[in-house]
Amino acid sequence: MDLTHDQTQPYIHPTLGSADPTPPTSPPLTRTGGLEEDQYTPNTPNFPSDRDGITEVPLLPSRPFIDKGSINGDDMRREPKAQYLSLKDAVYDNTQPEFDPKYLHYDVSPPRDKSSSKTLPSPALFPRGLPKPFTKHPFAQGFEAPNWTQLLVHVGLCLVAYPFLMIFIVIARAKPLFWTRFVVSLGCGLIGFCLGFSLLQLGKKFLEAATWATVIHQSRVMDEPGVKLKDLAANSGDSTSALAALRLLWDRYMYTGTSRRSRQQYDRRPWSLFIGFFLLIIAVAASLPFVLGRIVVIDTSVIHQRVEYAEVPVKGASSGVDIARAALLRPFFESFLLTWTLSPSSENGGLPPVVTFDYHGDTVYFSEIILSQLLPNGSGFGTFDTIPPIPTPPSKEKETQVDAAKVVDPGWTLRFPRWGIRTRCAKIPSGQGNIFTYAPSGLTYVFTPRKTLHSLFDSYHMDYPGVLQPFNATTVMQGNDTLPPNLVPDDLALGGYFFSNGVTHSFRSMPLTMGHEGRGWASIEHVLIRLNTTYAPNGNFDQFSSTLPDQNGNPTYVGYDAAVCLELFEPWIVEVFNSTTGFPRSTELIGPGNELFDFSFGKKPEKMIAPPLTDPNIIRQLNSSKMADVYLAAHENSINRMVKDNGRDSWYVPSPTVVGYTDGEGPMGYTELSASRFAHARGLADASNVLPYLVGSGDLVTRCYPDQVLSSARIYPLHMCIYLLLVLLLGLVAGFFVPKLPLDIPHRGFELYSWMAAFHADELVGEGREVGITRNMELDEIAGQMGDLRFRYVNNSN
């Protein structure tokens, strides 16, 4: 049957439907690579024919045959004609490749055998393909189907938050406080942002559902239905905004259709409560970095580093003025009649305390540094002024005004040479007449065996001094007194005499050097104990005097004990810690030395971080070559202070100092003279009464090592786990319990597709009034024109 178009039939316009006996004519189709404007009008195509397996079809499908049985009138006379679109108004585009719009080419070859076709491999876990997500709620009908992807992401974030934060905790260890805070804040901020963003993505559906529910509720009122566009725009501008949620609460209060009474027939759910839950999610999400930062604790520790240092001056030596003042006091200290001291007993409490360090089994005694030595115009006690410097603690008023938010300067470690004391003592052996209790002249003599003195020098690995050879008895014995016959002069090293003046403990010193070598001083110190046995019922003495009657006529005795000591005044390198919050204190003994040197603390060498001091008045070595007068005044000051600690200058009564030389206690507690206890007591006395006066107003070079404040962070595990569990539960609630829209309306949000569905499908219908919107208007002008326009939601129930 021939189905070609009959040119004699009237032409029917595809849109107007009128019959035109003269069909349009057009030039024949040319295939020269393109169409010229207004020259191509497609003819009615013939039935498709196969050309090399390709079927040519019309650009538009042919109009189906008209059933003559269903048409009356002229329509029954019309035969089917092909439809087409006029292209007279089309714009010619010669940029496209050569294309014949008369035909569309597609493959109509027979399908291949399914058994021979190659199929794509399917995963073993899902052999029938990936499962589709649930479109319904798993256990509740009044809520929207959860977004499983967002829920899984939220659960995963909660699980990895703890180990992820631990990575930052490890990085923040052993860092300065600033960087520890920075790393911890960065970690808490990243984790808080991720968890907060996940919560907001889950919770924003509550605001979206409540906003659309408000539109639906207000659309069902009879009087002015719908919501103003400006209210809808404000509420939907940001789906994660707390301000939008608060504004929505206010709109629901102002609109009459949102009241429970107006919608009780179709929707009784508490939408304001859902908005409140959304505000809770926002509050938790916003506070996540802050709360995580509180769960992480930052601990700081002060590290006394000894690598980087700068040179600073301190008052650690005696100046020329100090030495001159000490020389003026020398005659007063050499006079036995005065027993002069550098300060009254009432001011003895103002002297610095004594500190001790152990060095290779020896106890080294130091006088603690005072705050005045670290001040630019300060000084030590060795100025021999009438008003000695008294250290004062930092002002309490300043301590209370310290801003806790600021980092307090931790302090500095100062290293410089200082004078220290070592002393060792031995008891004078008895049984050989080494203590001549009462000579014809009334004096008491003490003789020191050479062997005893040798042991003291050997203990310090020192050579026996030549000034002690040979022993000359004529220089020791006074008047007509003679050496006891049982003593051999060659076995003796020293001898000394003491007045019988009733003083319980008497001292005699012999300096071996006066410091001219510059390395300090050495002296031999004797002590003689004479104590009435009436006050020492448990006393054990080497020798006794003849019988002496007491005040009641009862016979008593005087017991004698004696000891000899070798005392060394040496320069030592000591470290002092100083800060703005307290007194300076000695912290560590580096070793002997009168000049600073590099002391290795680990593998890093020391490094100077500031220019060295070049002032010639600041000395770099602690030198004793010119300090003989200073040493003599300070030494005699200490002896006189100890001598003054007596009950009275007669009757040989005990004193706390004498009892302290033994292991006894109390006024009647003297037992037996202990060499070690006396050495300790003498070291304490001289460190308190001699060493402070060896430091005056002279400047000494000091190395200043600023402290480092290193910090570390740690997490409270229990608090962290509880908080992450709460965040997890909050996210699950937000994901599973998003309320459905009223009247079973599908979910609508604030994204573009929701607005396309609302306006393109006529779900949101505005008022039928002219709004005057034209092209190229500013947004502010559009908002002014359309802000009061009401939109209502339309569905089958409206």
Q: What's the average model confidence in pLDDT over 393-398?
A: 43
Q: What's the average model confidence in pLDDT over 685-707?
A: 94
What pLDDT is recorded for position 648? 61
**What is the torsion angle, in degrees rounded to the nearest 10, for the CA atoms of residue 414, residue 417, residue 418 and residue 422?**
120
Is 584 a residue whose pLDDT tops 70? yes
Is 73 a residue whose pLDDT tops 50? no
**Among residues 356, 382, 564, which one has the least CA distance to residue 457?**
564
What pLDDT is recorded for position 387? 58
What pLDDT is recorded for position 374? 93
What pLDDT is recorded for position 84? 38
The answer to whether 655 and 645 are in contact (CB under 8 A) is yes
Is 124 a residue whose pLDDT tops 80? no
What pLDDT is recorded for position 797? 53
From the centroid of its chain, how far is CA 225?
A: 60
pLDDT above 70 as % of the chain: 77
The answer to whether 789 and 771 are in contact (CB under 8 A) is yes
The pLDDT confidence band at residue 89, using thresholds 50, 70 and 90, is very low
Is 663 a residue whose pLDDT tops 60? yes
Mean pLDDT of the chain: 80
232 compared with 276, residue with greater pLDDT: 276
124 compared with 169, residue with greater pLDDT: 169
The answer to whether 720 and 162 are in contact (CB under 8 A) is yes
Is 284 a residue whose pLDDT tops 90? yes
CA pair distance 737, 751, nearest whole angstrom: 20
Among 55-64, 177-186, 448-457, which is the least confidently predicted range? 55-64
Is 612 a residue whose pLDDT tops 60? yes
**Please, which residues have CB within 8 angstroms of residue 127's CB and are 6 or more apart in sequence?**
none
Is 9 a residue whose pLDDT tops 80? no
The pLDDT confidence band at residue 220, using thresholds 50, 70 and 90, is confident
CA pair distance 599, 574, nearest whole angstrom: 12
CA pair distance 58, 37, nearest whole angstrom: 21
Q: What's the average model confidence in pLDDT over 516-530?
A: 94
CA pair distance 242, 248, nearest whole angstrom: 10
271 phi, psi to nearest 5 deg: -65, -30
User: Is the peptide bond preceding residue 133 cis, with omega within 30 degrees of 0?
Assistant: no
Is 53 a residue whose pLDDT tops 60? no
Domain ranges in the chain? 1-111, 148-301+713-793
Residue 382: Cβ within 10 Å count: 28
Is 676 a residue whose pLDDT tops 50? yes
Is 280 a residue whose pLDDT tops 60? yes
Q: What's the average model confidence in pLDDT over 93-107?
A: 47
Is 118 a residue whose pLDDT tops 90? no
The answer to whether 779 and 747 are in contact (CB under 8 A) is no
Kindly report the length of the chain: 798
CA pair distance 34, 703, nearest whole angstrom: 93
DSSP for 134-191, written as a single string: PSS-SS-SSBPPP-HHHHHHHHHHHHHHHHHHHHHHHHTTTEEHHHHHHHHHHHHHHH
What pLDDT is recorded for position 145? 87
- Within 13 Å and on the Cβ side, how many CA atoms surround 628? 9
What pLDDT is recorded for position 390? 54
What pLDDT is recorded for position 120? 46
pLDDT above 90 as % of the chain: 42
542 compared with 3, residue with greater pLDDT: 542
Q: What's the average model confidence in pLDDT over 738-760?
A: 87
118 compared with 762, residue with greater pLDDT: 762
pLDDT digits (tens, 9 = 90+) for 613-646: 999 999 999 999 999 999 999 999 999 888 887 7
**H, E, C per residue of 410-431:** CCEEEEEEEEEEEEEEEECCCC
CA pair distance 709, 663, nearest whole angstrom: 46
Is 529 a residue whose pLDDT tops 60? yes
CA pair distance 115, 97, nearest whole angstrom: 39
CA pair distance 624, 136, nearest whole angstrom: 97
pLDDT digits (tens, 9 = 90+) for 10-29: 444 443 344 444 444 444 44
Q: What's the average model confidence in pLDDT over 779-791?
A: 82
